[in-house]
Amino acid sequence: MKKLFIAFGVVLALFVAGLVVLATVDYNRLGKENVYVHITEDGVEDRFVAGDGAVHNMYWYEQSAYDENGNEMQVKFSAHKNLRHNAYLMLYLKNRNEVTSFDEVQFDDLPTNVQAQFK
């Protein structure tokens, strides 16, 4: 009987650990390629009305981005607000062209080859 309780406790602990991992891992960033952009202009505003009648704004950006080696590529991505001018963003790419997420980073945190492109 004691072995049964120990086995049940181990299974329960593994289940809880699995739930914690699922709740904390951001799959929009996991295993994605990173490229970097410098925001210098406002995004193009796109308004749409949701099914409940609420009006939402989306801001679209289409610009050059650079990978860690300094290679240029064109990306298109959106944000729920107009992004701050002079901000540096690290974009997370899926399939080399689909932006799944982004984080703001400081200029000093950019790879050296990317910093050279933005000077």
As a whole number, mean pLDDT of residues 66-93 equals 92
Q: Considering only the top CATH level, what class is 33-118? A: mainly beta
For residue 39, count other CB atoms closer than 10 A to its CB.
18
Buried b (16+ CB within 10 A) or exposed e, 60-75: ebeeebbbeeeeeeeb
* 18 pLDDT above the threshold of 90: no
Tens of pLDDT, residue by residue over 56-76, are 899 999 999 999 998 999 999
Q: Where are the domains of the chain?
A: 33-118
pLDDT at position 82: 92
Q: Which residue has the higher pLDDT, 26 or 118?
A: 118
- Kindly compute the dihedral angle of the four CA atoms of residues 77, 79, 84, 87, in this order, to the nearest 10 degrees: -40
Q: What global pTM score does this model have?
A: 0.76
* 98 pLDDT above the threshold of 70: yes
